[in-house]
Amino acid sequence: MTRYSQEFWINDDTHRAIIPIMRNASSSIKKVLSQHKPWRESHTFVDVNTKFYTAWREPYWRFLSALGRELSDILDNHKGNERSTLENYINEWSDNPDSMLELKHMISQTETCKGATEPGSNIIVYRFDCLQKMIQEATKLNILMPVLNESVKHHYVILEFLEKHKTRWMEGWHQDRYKQDYDTWNQLTNSETCLISN
């Protein structure tokens, strides 16, 4: 029986693979690698000897970005009642922060990498500002990545919420629940890359 994994891109000739984590990085990687055979998109686990690469963002900044996308999807279904709808979610999250873990974009960067690899696999992690270097190292091709647009136009009530809560209770909760992401990111503050294992 075939076992399916988190999406990644693989080159079966070189046994190298790239795990896209951010949504805009994922679409850019797809646009670039789909033009270069034998790179292909896969959702099937591969041999642990495959060399995996990925790029990470600062964990809390990634969390706020993902939360903004989640809220945009939610508020799109409550036109005219955005503020009251958002306040209901804020109250729920304040009472039970772990309920945020049920949102679809809240998977940690660590779990995303584990979801793409077999136990025993190694993943070379680059800081997100080194995405271009990661692509060149993984592909051994002179590929110029398109400029990624990290800004998203959110409803103003979402922007108010994200701005107000940047340094409040959510950050402490996030550091506790996403500890492995922070452990890896702390290594990346002193280096462009580090190695993690599934």
Instruction: Of 179, 120, 140, 138, give the one whose Cα is nearest residue 54.
Output: 138
If one compares 17 and 82, the residue with the highest pLDDT of the two is: 17
pLDDT per position as a tens digit, 57-69? 999 888 888 888 8
Q: What does the pLDDT average to over 26-44?
A: 88
pLDDT exceeds cutoff 90 at 175: yes
Question: Tokens representing 171?
Answer: 């950050």
pLDDT per position as a tens digit, 69-97? 888 888 888 888 888 988 898 888 888 98
Question: Tokens representing 27?
Answer: 């679409």
| Residue 120 confidence (pLDDT) | 94
pLDDT > 70: what percent of the chain? 89
Range(s) of the domain holding residue 8: 4-197
The tally of domains found in the chain comes to 1
| Residue 30 confidence (pLDDT) | 85
| Residue 73 confidence (pLDDT) | 86
The answer to whether 50 touches 17, Cβ cutoff 8 Å, is yes
CA atoms within 13 A on the CB side of 35: 9
Max distance between CA atoms of the chain, in angstroms, equals: 54
pLDDT per position as a tens digit, 121-164? 999 999 999 989 999 999 998 888 776 655 556 667 777 777 76
Mean pLDDT of the chain: 86
Report residue 1's pLDDT band, with 50, 70 and 90 as the boundaries: very low
Cis peptide before 59 (omega within 30 of 0): no
Across the beta sheet with 39-44, what order do the strands follow? 39-44, 4-11, 16-19, 51-56, 122-127, 193-197
Question: Tokens representing 77?
Answer: 């279904």
Q: Of 107-111, 114-118, 162-166, 181-185, which range is least confident?
A: 162-166
Distance, CA of 112 to CA of 20 (rounded, Å): 9
pLDDT exceeds cutoff 60 at 114: yes
